[in-house]
Amino acid sequence: MSLVSTIYDTPSTDIADDSRKMLAGHVGPLSPGDPQHVRSGPGGRPQNCRTDDRDSTPPTAAPPDVRWQKLVALMVPTSPSAGPLHTDSAMWWCFARTPTGAALAAHIIPVQLSGPAWRTVAAQQMVPGEPRDRFVTSKARAKGTSSSQNAMGRFAGFSVDSYSHDSATVRLLVTNPMGGYRSTSVSVRWRDGDWKVAAADNGALYTSAQRANPSGFVIWGA
């Protein structure tokens, strides 16, 4: 899986139109505008999404209830308490509104966007706007989806570099297949009752990968 999306030089109006057409019909509990009228739970969350959101302290250790599950072609960390609480065939969602919940969303949502249900994920788990439109149109034009997920290595650790009630930046530590580690960052925002990935202006999900060492990261230990 490439850490940076391929971006095509296309006028913004065409990109928005193309993106709207490609995401049409991919609605659900996290869609903008609540098309299914299901976000009547506490804090505007879907009715069947309940998490403990009291702990706003950046984690210094992996969640004690961490579970590793295969998603697309990668093993990803999950937590029965911090999320995702719902893992259906289209997308995994319902994360705690905490730094740990944001960190898990930053691991999981971009991986889902490399899978076959990426349109549903993009429609419901990415922040709407021109960056998402650029991601969608470039993804649709790409020559298939890379099957070499191991090019990314495995998730080794993370660091919540910034956090507020409405946004977070999570740095991911991944193993380098050639040896050592690399790090990249993912931004998420709280919107429509859950964390969503905020793509960069050019549509990229991740920042450019850099060489890194484990110092300063919470190590997953898996």
What's the Rg (C-alpha) of the chain? 17
Residue whose tokens read 């609480």: 85
Rounded to 5 degrees, φ, ψ at 166 are -120, -10
Rounded CA separation 19/17 (Å): 5
The confidence score (pLDDT) of residue 3 equals: 42
Question: What pLDDT, on the 0 to 100 scale, is given for residue 12?
Answer: 65
Q: What is the value of pTM for the model shown?
A: 0.89
Q: What is the pLDDT of residue 20?
A: 87
Q: What is the structure's pLDDT at 34?
A: 54
**Measured in whole angstroms, how far is the alpha carbon of residue 127 from the centre of its chain?**
10
The single-letter DSSP state of residue 79 is B
Q: What pLDDT is recorded for position 11? A: 52
Of all helices (H) and strands (E), which one includes residue 155? strand 155-163
Confidence at residue 24, expressed as pLDDT on a 0 to 100 scale? 87
What are the residue ranges in the chain where pLDDT is below 70?
A: 1-13, 33-42, 143-152, 222
- Residue 147: per-residue pLDDT: 39
Q: How far apart are CA 222 and CA 220, in angstroms?
A: 6
Look up residue 29 and give its two tokens: 């509990």
